[in-house]
Amino acid sequence: MKRAVLMMCAAVLLMTAVVATSAQADPCDPVMKACAPAMRQVEVTVCKPVVVERQIQCYETRKVVEMVPKTRAVREWVCETVMVPETRTVCEPVMKTKMVQCTRTVIDRKEVVEEQEVTVCKPVWRTETRQCTVMVPQQETRQGTQTRCVMKPVTRTKTVCEDKGQWVTEVIEPSAPKACAPIAACKPAACAPPACAPVAQPHTVKKWVPNIVKKEVEYTCMVPTKVTEPCEYIVTVCVPKTVTREYQVCDMVPQKETRKCVRIVCEPRQVTETVPVQTCEMVRRQETVMVPKVERKLVCREETVMCPVTRCERVPVTKTIKCVEMQPTVVTKTIPCRPPRRPRVCAPPAACAAPSPCDPAM
């Protein structure tokens, strides 16, 4: 569709260009060709392609799935349990007692005393002399060194403070005596003569005035010192020694003895007895019982199911497309003159010195 529109536009523009060209004066006309050159200029309308965006409205086909109810016939097998009479043979056990003679073997146990000769091992003691190695302790005197701590006197110096003060006699003046209260304000006990203190006299007091003097004093102190000295010490050492000793050895000597042994002997014997025996006999009988039987039936039923149905619908859609349009443009071109269709006789004008290009002789 786009291609058809573009071709129509190009045809219209081409026709417009041809009409415009034919409407102009022909420079090769016989009247004007006396001074006309061999080339001419022509205005031509040229169509140039231009990309333009346009919005068009079109229809799109979309698929829509809808669930539609649909009734259909369904055939299915149905199992039913039916009670059916059935005749079967039943075996019933019947217990019967009868007397039967049977022979059985009885074991009689008897004790038999027998003399048997057996071999017995008896211990026999003997004295055996053997040599053995024993460890004998011995004392040895060895030389060594020992370290002991010895207190040695050392003279050192220390700083001592000594008080070289002296006694000074100092006179102390008495303090002012207390004033007596008026007799009217005093109570009898408080205003007695002893209540007022006597007048004190000045007295002298000896006072010690210290004078601390530091001096260096030498003193002797005992300092522990380690001293290494040679010494002798006694060590007890075990020395191997070979000694001959006597040991008591027990030998087991086999001896034969006769002993009485009690042996139990089992002797079988046959005994015939009449024993009641119960037997079970299976008696057959016919009986009718109801037996469940499963039967299959084909049943048709209708059911409604939702089936998906796809349908197509046209939806209007606006789209933006890019199309190419032919835009007319007027262009001036220089083209050569065309020769006349039939021979023409052109009179040479007086103003033209050169022969005309339209001359038949040329």
Tens of pLDDT, residue by residue, the chain (362 residues): 556 656 766 666 666 554 444 444 444 444 444 445 567 788 888 888 888 888 888 888 888 888 888 888 888 888 888 888 988 888 888 888 888 888 888 888 888 888 888 888 999 999 989 898 999 999 989 898 988 888 999 999 999 888 888 888 888 877 665 555 554 444 554 444 554 556 667 788 888 888 888 889 899 999 999 989 898 889 999 999 999 988 899 989 998 888 888 888 888 888 888 888 888 888 888 888 888 888 888 888 888 888 888 888 888 888 888 888 888 888 887 877 665 555 554 444 444 344 444 444 43
Task: Output b/e per residue, 6-18; b: 16+ Cβ within 10 A.
Answer: beebeeebeeebe
The residues, any chain, with a CB within 8 Å of residue 296's CB and separated by 6 or more, are 77, 78, 79, 80
Dist CA 248 CA 28 (whole Å): 171
Question: Bridge-partner residues for 256, per DSSP?
Answer: 119
Dist CA 78 CA 300 (whole Å): 10
Dist CA 48 CA 10 (whole Å): 9
Dist CA 42 CA 156 (whole Å): 142
Question: Is the distance from CB of 86 to CB of 291 less than 8 angstroms?
Answer: yes
DSSP 8-state assignment for residue 341: S
Which class for 33: exposed (0-12), middle (13-18), buried (19 or more C-beta within 10 A)? buried
Place of tokens 């030498």: 218
Place of tokens 């046209």: 314
Question: Is the distance from CB of 16 to CB of 330 less than 8 angstroms?
Answer: no
Per-residue pLDDT of 29-59, as tens digits, reads 444 444 455 677 888 888 888 888 888 888 8
**For 34, phi and psi rounded to 5 degrees?**
-65, -45
Q: Which pair of tokens denotes residue 231?
A: 């010494």
